[in-house]
Structure 1
Amino acid sequence: MPPLTPPASSASSPAQPPSSRDALVLALRAAGCVFAEEEAELILDAASTADEAAAMARRRAAGLPLEHVVGWAEFHGLRVGVEPGVFVPRRRTEFLVDQALAAVPHASVVVDLCCGSGAVGAALAASLGPVELHACDIDPVAVACARRNLAEHGGHAYAGDLFAPLPDRLRGRVDILAANVPYVPTDEVPLLPSEAREHEPLTALDGGGDGLDVLRRVAAEAPLWLAPGGRLLVETSERQSPAAVEAFARSGLTVRVARDEELSAHVILGAAFR
């Protein structure tokens, strides 16, 4: 994963002693961190003391994702809080957010399904303005993290399996249903980078035999929740797109596929018209 972008305020921060920075860079480089210099700057910016910076560098060198080390991830122009055990939002998922905003620019009810840290919901709310925002995830650790990230947007986060914890009053009212479902085929999970395999929840990665088990469940139930003209958006891979399109069509949604080659992002959009 590319490194976090150094915050704009770091340029005006007091200069760190070269020896401290150099020591961190050397430690990170020795651990195989490709962007050691940039990561050292982020750690120094996040740490209150030299000892804390050294401890953070040790955790990073041991394989903890940088975002878990510094406590935040950059996503769609926001700093989204993350913590160990919570899925780190990927930059390619910003494309899903952009597609949702373009498809339903005046959305008033937003649901972030399989929300993880709540990054997608927070990004949508930040761009749309005041919305009724709900998020849910099966992992209670992720839900606690999402609640903190959604608080400033007045959002609500629930723990439970897919739609089950959502209030019934949302049925037929959701304008944007963003579902960043797990879509890695079970047999391919061991091939993921160690940062993901060892430090992110399996429920956020493993999508079943062909990677589309959760996507099919979401597509099947989504029409019950979408408002007329509402959109379901799910990220998947290019290889899985045909089967994902079939699942959307089977549920009665009008389907479109959006791609961003630079980000290697593929988003399936399903529209509910009734």
Structure 2
Amino acid sequence: MTRCPIPEYVRPLPESVYPPSEDTFLFMDALEKERNHIQTLNPLFACEIGCGSGLIVSFFAKHIAPQSCFCFATDINDECLLTTKSTSKINKVCVDTICCDLLTPFLPRLYRSIDVILFNPPYVPTDEVELMNSQPFLGGTEGIASSWAGGRDGMEVTNRVLNDLDMYLSENGVAYVILLQANKPKTITQKLKARGFKLTVVLKRSSQLELLYLVKIVRLKPPHP
């Protein structure tokens, strides 16, 4: 199988924008592996939460999503949104950008309407002070720290999305999320199962931090009567 080329992105990146790194490339490799499954779903709405440079959502729009799929991206950092918009234009794809905290403004308007969620979250374990200082909605200042400061177990931001996944994800939708070994993937799997979701590992890769996982989350199918 011919590998999809990596999209171009704005260089040099602003200092507050997370540069493409090992987790970014793991994400794109996993999306390529999942391409047939995603296209079988015929998604209409796809969103990247915390888009950074816009490389992942541009890759998705260019190589993975069918033409009928509307792609948008959110971030709390204005510079990330401007960079994502530029990255999408360079790659001749359409990606709408919205400045907001995760997906909070979309309820109830997009209740169970998002077919594909892409999320490379701030997963690094940090103390509460560091987390709060990185988050504008908690009174902190915007900056590059918002792309990696994850609070306790590196999961405080990720959990805000996973806890509301039932409200955002369409009935046959799929969420792709990066996790670190320190995030306790087995515990996350158990919690999601209790909420009616199944987590599977698509790809994993060793990094300078430790083991990175790209996981797929879908609804559990009800048992046959």
Q: TM-score, normalised by structure 1?
A: 0.61
Q: Structure 1 CA distance, aligned partners of 2:63 and 2:193? A: 29
Per-residue CA deviation, residues 172-201 of structure 1 (Å, 9 max, x unaligned), is: 2222101111000115xx9xxxxxxxxx61
1:243 equivalent in alignment to 2:187: yes
Aligned to 1:258: 202
1:135 equivalent in alignment to 2:73: yes
User: 1:223 aligned to 149, 157, 166, which one?
Assistant: 166
Whether the 8 Å CA contact 2:196–2:220 is kept in 1: the answer is: no
**1:211, distance to aligned residue in structure 2 (A):** 0.4
Whether the 8 Å CA contact 2:125–2:182 is kept in 1: the answer is: no
Aligned CA distance change for structure 1 residues 150 and 184 (closer, same or farther; 3 Å):
same
Aligned CA distance change for structure 1 residues 119 and 168 (closer, same or farther; 3 Å):
farther
Q: Structure 1 CA distance, aligned partners of 2:171 and 2:29? A: 20
1:118 equivalent in alignment to 2:51: no
Gapped regions of structure 2 (runs ≥ 5): 131-142
User: 1:186 aligned to 126, 141, 166, which one?
Assistant: 126
**1:235, distance to aligned residue in structure 2 (A):** 0.4
Whether the 8 Å CA contact 1:219–1:247 is kept in 2: the answer is: no
Question: What number of residue pairs does the alignment pair up?
Answer: 191
**1:92, distance to aligned residue in structure 2 (A):** 3.3
User: 2:95 aligned to 132, 141, 155, which one?
Assistant: 155
Local SS of the residue matching 2:158: helix
Aligned to 2:136: none
Aligned to 1:232: 175
Q: Structure 2 CA distance, aligned partners of 1:144 and 1:247? A: 36
Which structure is richer in relative contact order (CA contacts within 8 A, separation 6 or more)? 2
Aligned CA distance change for structure 1 residues 135 and 168 (closer, same or farther; 3 Å):
farther
Per-residue CA deviation, residues 64-122 of structure 1 (Å, 9 max, x unaligned), is: xxxxxxxxxxx961112232221112233333234345142343321000111222111
Local SS of the residue matching 1:254: strand
User: 1:91 aligned to 19, 22, 26, which one?
Assistant: 22
**1:223, distance to aligned residue in structure 2 (A):** 1.8
Q: Structure 2 CA distance, aligned partners of 1:127 and 1:174? A: 19
Q: Structure 2 CA distance, aligned partners of 1:180 and 1:242? A: 18
Per-residue CA deviation, residues 28-87 of structure 1 (Å, 9 max, x unaligned), is: xxxxxxxxxxxxxxxxxxxxxxxxxxxxxxxxxxxxxxxxxxxxxxx9611122322211
Aligned CA distance change for structure 1 residues 248 and 261 (closer, same or farther; 3 Å):
same
Aligned CA distance change for structure 1 residues 165 and 118 (closer, same or farther; 3 Å):
farther
Query: Which amino acid letter does the alignment assign opposite residue 237 of structure 1?
Result: L
Percentage of pairs with the same residue: 20
Aligned to 2:138: none
Q: Structure 2 CA distance, aligned partners of 1:170 and 1:150? A: 23
Q: Structure 1 CA distance, aligned partners of 2:145 and 2:196? A: 30
1:79 equivalent in alignment to 2:8: yes
**1:262, distance to aligned residue in structure 2 (A):** 5.9
The alignment's C-alpha RMSD in Å is 2.8
Whether the 8 Å CA contact 2:61–2:94 is kept in 1: the answer is: no
Local SS of the residue matching 2:173: strand
Aligned CA distance change for structure 1 residues 182 and 262 (closer, same or farther; 3 Å):
closer
